[in-house]
Amino acid sequence: MLSYRHAFHAGNHADVLKHTVLIQLLRYLGQKETPYMYIDTHSGAGVYALDTGYANKSREYETGIARLWDSKDLPGPVAEYVQLVREMNPSGKMRYYPGSPYCADRVAREQDRIRLFELHPTDIKLLEDNFRKLEAEGQRGASRGKRVMVNRGDGFTGLKGLLPPPSRRGLVLIDPPYEVKDDYRRVKDTLADALIRFPTGTYAVWYPVLQRMESRQLPDKLKRLQGKDWLNVSLSIGGPTPDGFGLTGSGMFVINPPWTLEPMLREIMPFLVKALARDDQARFTLETGVPVTGPGVRKA
Ligand code: SAM
């Protein structure tokens, strides 16, 4: 089923969390000269217009990036994320929002490699067109050798063929729509396989915080994957909506997180809760752990 279109959700509170974490994970990898590979198993369209089409209809960005746009005192990592969005909007008016592939393209260096998967026929075309435009504008893009490659296909299965990356350094973002419950199973199975092929890679899984059982169980299932450190952060902007519709919380589960991630999140999460809160049930959770074969969770 391919009914999901990320344009409806572009720039919402979940994207704020996901893209802020993503940028910091890539920055960390970029501290060493050796190239890394960034793999996005579910890329979406890459760039979204906020003032037309689906995003303008849903206006979900008002729960996210719009709340930060005019803030002056942003903590460093949030400021860096907002600055990246600002660079897409040189007029100063918030018109475009970068998806994960674009964030990665801005942060990754010339020597790094970006591998993007997308299955939706419309979004894959938009993704290809967006990277072609970057290339035409003389920005980084697909033309620079094999720096960026866009793959029409299933990211869960496509990932296998890319691991381990030649430099043995890499970040994989797994960000499926979760509209079908099989996505939860496939995330876990894909990670279990990926960790055998590339045990030292960093893996970031975005997930929705929902009442449905599969969503509530996913972080615990990921904690049990073989022998890796993990970090789990979630952000809820409020309690459930009266009609039960609309996403109010999401999380990022990171396997093999850099040591810098936890202190960075301890700094920015209270700020994000305050800035994005819709009501007094807004909150964050942050926990890190080692494999549950040992004593288990280190901090909660
Ligand atoms: N990662 C993007 C970002 O942060 O900007 C958003 C991705 S969106 C949540 C999920 C995307 O996955 C949708 O564009 C959907 O069409 C695509 N998709 C769904 N199943 C897929 C699959 N098995 N392989 C690759 N893409 C898939």
The Cα 192–Cα 118 span in angstroms is 21
Could you tell me if the CB of 43 is within 6 A of ligand 1?
yes
What is the model's pLDDT at position 2? 74
Annotation says 70 is catalytic: no
Cα(176) to centroid(ligand 1), Å: 5
The string over 129-146, giving b where at least 16 C-beta atoms fall within 10 Å of a residue's C-beta and e elsewhere, is ebbeebeeeeebbbeeee
What is the model's pLDDT at position 28? 98
40: helix, strand or coil:
strand
What is the model's pLDDT at position 292? 60
**Domains of the chain, start order:** 26-49+100-259+272-289 (3.40.50.150)
Nearest to 176 by CA among 25, 44, 37: 44
Ligand 1, closest atom to CA 40? 1
- Report the chain (300 residues): mean pLDDT per 10 consecutive residues: 83 98 98 98 96 86 95 96 96 96 97 97 95 77 71 97 98 97 97 97 97 93 90 95 84 98 98 97 96 52
Could you tell me if the CB of 130 is within 6 A of ligand 1?
no
